[in-house]
């Protein structure tokens, strides 16, 4: 790749309370796709000013990160049910069964990654189905998309349709093969051992998952404490455990690379356990609204050192666009939320949750050039110009006013993965 510079307004997180904002900024990308410079145009070193360049009035910001979503559910969004367990049975399991057909798995995977790039998501953590062949196809399409993808085959050995279940030794053997083929391939792909949740995984399977993830040093992703009925069922299935979190702790699946989806109903003693193990919590606000799971208690995390990420959770969430998840995250709290909080969650916060903060999540020299361009047209910016607005005001316009169509381009490692060519 040839090194280049983009002249554009730049916004990037430093922390949950600080973003840098250069209305007249420059981003330089080196031959390896890393950021060589991100700052004001005025201070751009002359050797970088001499590179091939382009200019845009679109805002350049780090690519969004989606810390929890389901590839195989893209085609069953919007089907409401009375609760999580009924929704899985009625809509999700039948759809996941369709992925046994390789042609279907291929088409859906292709569509999914195209939609993801178009939504401005450059990095994501994704569940596939329990079919290893379909997961292999999904990885092939992930590789082709050029996005940064953590992904794993869903694992279940009870309480789901027979054709989606696997005996633990078979599930582990298939996951090991997928790890050998895909984990850390091309510097963009990672494997996540993905036991679905306590209802559909036996103690034997959960323990085997924990062991495999530790031996192979890969991620684990699963669901926890999403709905009351689910929690009751898990406690009935694991009578020796006082809480859902302790089921996972005792089976060895709480690691510092574990991503726990939802966690809506969680005691402070459980949060202590999660914090001690260094596992991340992934908040999925759209899904919690859709399935009536309850409000995620954001305030319980204040003063704690738990990384909390943000996920679209398609298909319980209807949209792959993190702008929708950010707004939902703010709105479900029922009080005004500072725009940095959701915008940080979908960028650098998620990079921390996924332990990728040294690689992505902000525009900083040395990190991969994973960025998006967002249009802010006159209907939002009005008669103001960028130089009159501060970082908080720009973040506020992004979080509370932009929509998916305002994402104009997505780049990973400095290369264009998607661009809207219509004006
Ligand atoms: N719990 C177990 N599986 C799922 C799933 O596919 N979606 C959601 N939202 N929760 C789950
Ligand atoms: Zn999920």
On average, the pLDDT of the chain sits at 97
Q: Would the pLDDT of 423 be above 80?
A: no
Rounded to whole angstroms, the Cα distance separating 139 from 190 reads: 10
Residues framing ligand 1 (Cβ under 6 A)? 70, 84, 88, 92, 196-197, 223, 226, 287, 313, 316
**Alpha helical stretches, state H, 165-281:** 168-182, 203-216, 228-237, 244-250, 268-277
Q: Strand pairing partners for 195?
A: 155
**pTM over the 0.85 mark:** yes
Ligand nearest to the CA of 234: 1
Give the Cα separation of 60 and 8 in Å (integer): 6
Helix (H) or strand (E) holding 400: helix 391-401
Does the pLDDT of residue 253 top 70, yes or no? yes
Give the nearest ligand 1 atom to 284 CA. Answer: 9
Whether the per-residue pLDDT at 68 is higher than 80: the answer is yes
Closest ligand 1 atom to Cα of 73: 6
- For the chain, the distance separating the N- and C-terminal CA atoms, rounded to the nearest angstrom, is 26
Q: Alpha helix (H) ranges present in 73-167? A: 84-87, 93-97, 102-118, 132-145
Q: What is the structure's pLDDT at 382?
A: 86
State how far the Cα of 121 lies from the Cα of 297, in Å rounded to an integer. Answer: 25
- Closest C-alpha to ligand 1, atom 8: 316
- Please check the confidence at residue 88 and state whether its pLDDT lies above 80: yes
Name the closest-CA residue to atom 1, ligand 1: 223
What percent of the chain is modeled with pLDDT above 90? 97
Cα-Cα-Cα-Cα dihedral sign, residues 372, 72, 220, 186: negative
Question: Nearest C-alpha to atom 5 of ligand 1 is from which residue?
Answer: 88
pLDDT of residue 334: 87
Q: Indicate the pairing of strand 308-310 with strand 415-419.
A: unpaired
What's the token pair of residue 303?
């003063």
Of ligand 1's listed atoms, the one at least distance from the Cα of 316 is 9
**Residue 81: helix, strand or coil by DSSP?**
coil
**CA angle (78 as vertex; 77, 84 as ends), nearest 5:** 85
Question: How far is the centre of ligand 2, averaged over its atoms, from the C-alpha of 47 (Å)?
Answer: 46
Phi and psi at 334, nearest 5°, equal 70, 20
Long-range CB pairs of 47-56, under 8 A, 24+ apart, other chains included: 48/5, 49/5, 51/3, 51/4, 51/5, 52/2, 52/3, 52/4, 52/5, 53/4, 53/5, 53/6, 53/7, 54/4, 54/6, 54/7, 55/6, 55/7, 55/8, 56/6, 56/7, 56/8, 56/373
- Distance in Å, CA 279 to ligand 2 centroid: 16
Please determine, for residue 181, whether its predicted confidence score (pLDDT) is greater than 90: yes
Q: How remote is the CA of residue 222 from the centroid of ligand 1, in Å?
A: 9
Give the whole-angstrom CA distance, residue 23 versus residue 218: 40
Q: Distances in Å between the alpha carbon of 60 and those of 228, 268, 315, 404?
A: 41, 39, 29, 15
Confidence of residue 383 (pLDDT cuts 50, 70, 90): confident
Mean pLDDT confidence for 233-246: 98
Helix axes 391-401, 322-331, angle to 10 degrees: 100
- What is the mean pLDDT of the segment spanning 302-327? 97
CA distance 182 to 52: 34
Please tell me the distance from the alpha carbon of residue 231 to that of residue 210, in angstroms, as a whole number: 21
User: Quick one: average pLDDT of 310-338?
Assistant: 96
Let me know: does 251 contact 244? Beta carbons within 8 Å: no
- Ligand 1 centroid vs 127 CA: distance in angstroms? 10
pLDDT greater than 90 at residue 365: yes
Map residue 405 onto helix, strand or coil: helix
DSSP assignments along 277-306, one per residue: HT-EEEE-HHHHHHTT-----GGGGTT---
* Mean pLDDT of the 328-351 span: 96
State residue 398's pLDDT score. 98
DSSP class of residue 51 equals S
In this prediction, residue 77 has a pLDDT band, given cuts at 50, 70 and 90, of very high
242 Cβ contact list (under 8 Å, min separation 6): none
List strand residue ranges (DSSP E) for 315-385, in order.
Answer: 371-374
Pocket test for ligand 1, best of 224, 226, 247 (most atoms within 8 A of CB): 226
What mean pLDDT do residues 114-132 have? 98
Q: Candidates 80, 83, 84: which one to mutate for ligand 1, based on the most atoms within 8 Å of Cβ?
A: 84
Phi, psi for 402 (deg, rounded to 5):
-75, 160
CA 315 to centroid of ligand 2, rounded, Å: 8
- What is the DSSP-derived secondary structure letter of residue 33? S
Q: Write the pLDDT tens digit of every residue in 47-66.
A: 999 999 999 999 999 999 99
| Ligand 2: centre distance to CA 223 (Å) | 6
> Which of ligand 1's atoms lies nearest the C-alpha of 127?
6
Identify which ligand lies nearest to the alpha carbon of 126: 2
Q: Which atom of ligand 1 is nearest to the CA of 230?
A: 1
Residue 200 has pLDDT above 90, yes or no: yes
CA distances from 161 to 94, 200, 289 (A): 9, 10, 26
Beta bridge partners of 221: 259
């Amino acid at each position: 790749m040839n090194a280049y510079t983009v002249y554009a307004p730049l916004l990037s997180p430093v922390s949950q309370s600080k973003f840098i904002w250069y209305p007249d900024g420059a981003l330089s990308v080196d031959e390896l796709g890393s950021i060589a410079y991100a700052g004001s145009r005025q201070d751009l070193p002359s050797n970088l000013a001499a590179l091939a360049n382009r200019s845009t009035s679109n805002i350049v910001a780090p690519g969004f990160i989606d810390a929890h979503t389901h590839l195989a559910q893209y085609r069953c969004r919007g089907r409401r049910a009375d609760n999580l367990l009924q929704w899985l049975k009625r809509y999700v399991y039948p759809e996941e069964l369709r992925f046994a057909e390789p042609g279907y798995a291929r088409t859906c995977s292709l569509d999914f990654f195209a939609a993801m790039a178009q939504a401005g998501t450059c990095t994501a953590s994704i569940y596939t189905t329990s079919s290893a062949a379909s997961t292999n196809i999904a990885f092939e399409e992930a590789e082709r998309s050029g996005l940064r993808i953590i992904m794993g085959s869903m694992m279940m050995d009870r309480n789901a349709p027979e054709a989606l279940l696997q005996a633990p030794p078979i599930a582990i053997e298939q996951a090991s093969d997928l790890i050998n083929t895909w984990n850390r391939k091309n510097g963009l792909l990672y494997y996540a051992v993905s036991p679905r949740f306590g209802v559909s995984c036996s103690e034997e399977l959960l323990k085997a998952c924990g062991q495999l993830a530790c031996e192979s040093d890969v991620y684990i992703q699963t669901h926890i404490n999403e709905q009351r009925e689910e929690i009751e069922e898990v406690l009935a299935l694991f009578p020796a455990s006082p809480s859902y979190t302790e089921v996972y702790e005792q089976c060895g699946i709480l690691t510092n690379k574990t991503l726990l989806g939802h966690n809506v109903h969680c005691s402070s003693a459980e949060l202590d356990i999660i914090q001690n193990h260094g596992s991340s919590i992934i908040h999925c606000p759209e899904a919690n609204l859709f399935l009536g799971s309850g409000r995620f208690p954001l305030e319980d995390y204040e003063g704690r050192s738990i990384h909390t990420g943000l996920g679209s959770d398609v298909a319980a969430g209807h949209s792959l666009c993190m702008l929708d998840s950010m707004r939902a995250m703010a709105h479900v709290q029922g009080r005004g939320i500072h725009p940095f909080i959701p915008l940080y969650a979908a960028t650098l916060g998620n990079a921390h949750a996924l332990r990728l903060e040294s690689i992505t999540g902000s525009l900083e020299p040395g990190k991969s050039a994973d960025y998006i361009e967002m249009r802010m047209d006159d209907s939002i910016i009005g008669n103001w110009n960028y130089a009159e607005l501060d970082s908080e005001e720009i973040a506020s316009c992004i979080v509370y006013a932009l929509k998916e169509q305002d994402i104009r381009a997505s780049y990973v490692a400095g290369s264009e993965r998607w661009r809207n060519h219509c004006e």
